[in-house]
């Protein structure tokens, strides 16, 4: 799991500002859901998070959450007017729901 990126926010920052990492989270989710679906995976690993004691935690997303994550991603990217990423999320959503 050395190729899993480290989430750019600490656990403390995530708790204090839960929406702060939306952009990073949704961009990575779109890409990894696409990869996971194309490879028949039942879960994907989005990020590695370092906790306060130095342990690595892994943020995994099961396939049962992919559809709702993509719907949230579409809403997020529409709100910031990033229509290219929004279209990518829609394409992935269509692929996994067909």
The tens place of each residue's pLDDT in the chain, 98 residues long, gives: 568 888 777 777 777 766 777 899 999 999 999 999 999 999 999 999 877 787 888 999 999 999 999 999 999 999 999 999 999 999 999 999 98
Q: What angle do CA 30, 31, 32 make, to 5 degrees?
A: 95
For residue 43, what are the domain limits? Answer: 11-97
**Residue 31 belongs to some domain of the structure:** yes
* Partners of 59 in beta bridges: 47
Q: How many domains does the chain have?
A: 1
DSSP string, 41-71: -SEEEEEEEE-TTS-EEEEEEEGGGHHHHHH
**Residue 2 belongs to some domain of the structure:** no
Tokens of 84: 């290219």
**Residue 6 belongs to some domain of the structure:** no
The rounded distance, in Å, linking the Cα atoms of 34 and 31 is 5
Q: What angle do CA 8, 14, 19 make, to 5 degrees?
A: 95
């Amino acid at each position: 799991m050395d190729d899993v990126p480290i989430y750019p926010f600490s656990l403390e920052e995530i708790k204090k500002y839960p929406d702060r990492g939306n952009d990073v989270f949704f961009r990575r989710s779109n890409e990894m859901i696409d990869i996971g679906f194309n490879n028949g995976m039942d879960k994907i690993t989005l990020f590695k998070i370092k906790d306060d004691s130095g342990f690595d935690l892994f943020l995994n997303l099961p396939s049962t959450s992919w559809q709702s994550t993509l719907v949230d991603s579409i809403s997020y990217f529409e709100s910031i007017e990033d229509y290219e990423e929004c279209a990518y999320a829609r394409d992935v959503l269509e692929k996994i729901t067909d």
